[in-house]
């Protein structure tokens, strides 16, 4: 099934190249995390997918066509870019009803999406008085009005409390489990690690990685081994002689790369060195993300 196809997408604002020859696809039945540091070009890419910004070059198709060619876009793709964009004076019900009617969608969908997002109890309340979490739910309810196969959310958990974050995370997973394609942006790898199946990582408008979460862990996770012993400096000598690279860790630990835990254990036994700890480290996804994007963050801290 065709979902979102981004091909050679490029956007310039004046002399700024904001999106640079970006290509990726979003598959059905999974959550695709669209990840990059602030200013990487995520929102601009999403706007181009939705026909809200014109590409300088390249193309995007949604459900096999460009967004502007979709007869009833809301039935193909639902998008939440900015949850504050609700008419505060309207009730939640009337906000959704206005959207449904203006898009030619049946009125019954309003009750259905209110139920789905747990807003039935506040349907008659003015959206202006809603908390951020409820506004997000209302925004998500609106994306579901046309029962679309494709959903796009721009930083949906920004500013939410842990319960709100949890609800959105579970909801995205549910939508994907129903076979929908879910594209969700974030600048937080830790968030994506718990939500996404697949990651598209960009930095300075360019594609840095297009990978499954599991593959990314595998590619970047098997790095170092943490070793503790009573006499670290002499064991460091043996480790280096055996081809390992050693750096000092916290509290006298050695951080070893280039040798497996098993090799280090054998080396310790051979030299009669008692070890109090031997722990293979898995780099966290956050580390992997920092590593991937370190050349592309806009403002880097300068070491003192
Ligand atoms: N309409 C515009 N005119 C000029 N520059 C723009 C415009 N929209 C975005 N930009 C610039 O494009 C770059 C990418 O912005 P964009 O909002 O797409 O990034 P982002 O990855 O979504 O970041 P954030 O997480 O901070 O929203 C930024 O440097 C931004 O200032």
Domain ranges of the chain: 4-204, 222-286
Does pLDDT of 10 surpass 70? yes
Q: Which of 58-62, 120-124, 286-290 is predicted with the least confidence, judged by mean pLDDT?
A: 286-290
- Ligand 1 in reach of 44 Cβ (< 6 A): yes
C-alpha span between 71 and 158 (Å, rounded):
32
DSSP string covering the chain: ---EEEEEEEEEETTEEEEEEEEEEE-TTSEEEEE--TTSSHHHHHHHHTTSS--SEEEEEETTB-GGG-SSHHHHEEEES-TT-S-TTSBHHHHHHHHHHHTT--THHHHHHHHHTT-GGGTTSBGGG--HHHHHHHHHHHHTTT--SEEEESSTTTT--HHHHHHHHHHHHHHHHTT-EEEEEES-HHHHHHH-SEEEEEETTEEEEEEEHHHHHHHHHEEEEEEEES-HHHHHHHHHHTT-EEEE-GGG-EEEESS-HHHHHHHHHHHT--EEEEEEEEPPHHHHHHHHHTTT-SSPPPP-
- Ligand 1 in reach of 41 Cβ (< 6 A): yes
- The predicted pLDDT at position 197 comes to 93
Q: What is the mean pLDDT of residues 198-205?
A: 92
- The predicted pLDDT at position 257 comes to 86
- Ligand 1 in reach of 196 Cβ (< 6 A): no
What kind of fold does domain 4-204 have according to CATH? Rossmann fold (3.40.50)
Atom of ligand 1 nearest to the CA of 298: 29
Residue nearest atom 25 of ligand 1, based on CA coordinates: 38
Cβ neighbors of 61 (< 8 A, separation 6 or more) are 2, 4, 5
How far is the centre of ligand 1, averaged over its atoms, from the C-alpha of 41 (Å)?
Answer: 6
How far is the centre of ligand 1, averaged over its atoms, from the C-alpha of 16 (Å)?
Answer: 10
- The predicted pLDDT at position 283 comes to 64
Q: State the CATH architecture for 222-286.
A: 2-Layer Sandwich (3.30)
Q: What is the mean pLDDT of residues 139-148?
A: 95
Among 119, 148, 130, residue whose Cα is nearest residue 89: 130
- Ligand 1 in reach of 18 Cβ (< 6 A): yes
Q: Are residues 42 and 60 in contact, defined by beta-carbon separation less than 8 angstroms?
A: no
Does pLDDT of 303 surpass 50? no
Question: What digits encode the pLDDT tens for the residues 21-59?
Answer: 999 999 999 999 999 888 899 999 999 999 999 999 999
How far is the centre of ligand 1, averaged over its atoms, from the C-alpha of 19 (Å)?
Answer: 9
Stronger pLDDT, 167 or 214, i.e. the higher one: 167
- Ligand 1 in reach of 36 Cβ (< 6 A): yes
Does pLDDT of 127 surpass 70? yes
- Testing ligand 1's pocket by substitution, the residue of 19, 35, 42 carrying the most ligand atoms inside 8 A of its CB is 42
């Amino acid at each position: 099934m065709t979902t979102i196809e981004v091909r050679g997408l490029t956007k310039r604002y004046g002399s700024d190249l904001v999106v640079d020859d970006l290509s990726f696809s979003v598959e059905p039945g999974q959550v695709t995390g669209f990840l990059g540091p602030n200013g990487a070009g995520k929102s601009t890419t999403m706007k181009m997918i939705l026909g809200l910004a014109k590409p300088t070059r390249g193309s995007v198709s949604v459900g096999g066509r460009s967004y502007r060619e979709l007869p009833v876009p809301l039935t193909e793709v639902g998008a939440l870019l900015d949850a504050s964009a609700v008419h505060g004076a309207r009730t939640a019900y009337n906000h959704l009803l206005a959207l449904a009617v203006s898009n030619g969608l049946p009125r019954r969908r309003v009750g259905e999406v209110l139920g789905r997002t747990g807003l039935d109890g506040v349907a008659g309340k003015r959206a202006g008085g809603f908390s951020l979490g409820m506004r997000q739910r209302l925004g998500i309810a609106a994306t579901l009005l046309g029962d679309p196969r494709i959903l796009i959310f721009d930083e949906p958990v920004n500013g939410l409390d842990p319960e709100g974050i949890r609800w959105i995370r579970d909801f995205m997973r549910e939508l994907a489990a129903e076979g929908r394609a879910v594209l969700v942006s974030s600048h937080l790898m830790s968030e994506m690690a718990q939500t996404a199946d697949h990651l598209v990582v960009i930095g300075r408008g360019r594609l840095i990685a297009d990978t499954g979460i599991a593959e990314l862990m595998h590619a970047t996770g098997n790095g170092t081994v943490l070793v503790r012993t009573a006499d670290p400096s002499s064991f460091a000598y043996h480790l280096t002689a055996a081809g390992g690279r050693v750096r000092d860790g916290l509290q006298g630990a050695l951080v070893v790369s280039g040798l497996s835990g098993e090799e280090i254990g054998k080396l310790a036994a051979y030299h009669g060195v008692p070890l109090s700890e031997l722990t293979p480290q898995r780099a966290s996804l956050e580390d992997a993300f920092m590593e991937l994007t370190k050349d592309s963050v806009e403002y880097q801290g300068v070491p003192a």
